[in-house]
Structure 1
Amino acid sequence: MSKGCQTQGPLSELEKAMDTIIDVFHQYSRREGDNDTLTKKELKLLIEKQLANYLKHVKNQVSIDQIFKDLDGNKDQQLSFGEVMLLIIRVIIATHEHLHFCEDHQHQQQHQHQHQHNH
């Protein structure tokens, strides 16, 4: 890293998370073709290895093909960092909503459990 690119101080948790996302993207984008885009094969590997828990339902090639088609906004048969970020954003939003659903569901169960013991 050149001196002009170094940060002034220690990174925050969010900054570290952003660096990790960039690093993971490059781990997969450098495998074949353009070093700064993902091919369909690279996307499939990234999903299988890095998003296995959050995208459990994406197992078959048809799903990968559809995700790739949806993300490839300029239809150049490769995904830029920005195009891949659309997938990451969707996964983060869905995960956030799922966590709230689970919290609400747990809270309702606890509340119902307390009512049963109070009667």
Structure 2
Amino acid sequence: MTTALEKALATIVITFHKYSGKEGDKFKLNKNELKELLMKELPAFSSKRMDPTEFQKIMSDLDHNKDNEVDFQEFTCFLACVSMGFDEFFRSCPKLPLPGK
């Protein structure tokens, strides 16, 4: 039986590869692929209009090796930061039941 964490990890990998390689390197996200992923998979990013300068800042911050693409390692670092932000946010909320509990 697959655990919730195993399913979550598989979802991260599958989601990355759903968008990577539509253009160019199939193991990296270029600017257009990253923007599409953020808009479709993380609605918080699409709920506010991201101007080109703001998006370029995000891309630059994620692209540690400065190759103008985001590889899986860079993407997972980003997800770790987003997860930490969610954790901080939910620490200030009243006790909410976790999924599956």
Q: TM-score, normalized by length of structure 2?
A: 0.85
- Cα 1:66–1:58, aligned 2, differ >3 Å: closer, same or farther? farther
Match of 1:20 in 2: 11
RMSD: 1.7
Match of 2:73 in 1: 82
Structure 1 unaligned spans of 5+ = 1-9, 105-119
More helix by share: 1
Match of 2:41 in 1: 50
- Cα 1:22–1:52, aligned 2, differ >3 Å: closer, same or farther? same
Q: CA deviation at 1:54?
A: 6.2
- Cα 1:22–1:86, aligned 2, differ >3 Å: closer, same or farther? same
Alignment map for 1:1-119 (pairs within 5 Å)? 10-53=1-44, 56-57=47-48, 59-103=50-94
Runs of 4+ in structure 1 off by over 3 angstroms are: 54-58
Q: CA deviation at 1:101?
A: 1.3
Q: CA deviation at 1:66?
A: 0.5
Highest Rg: 1 or 2?
A: 1
Q: TM-score, normalized by length of structure 1?
A: 0.73
How many residues are aligned here? 95
**How high is the sequence identity, in percent, across the aligned residues?**
35
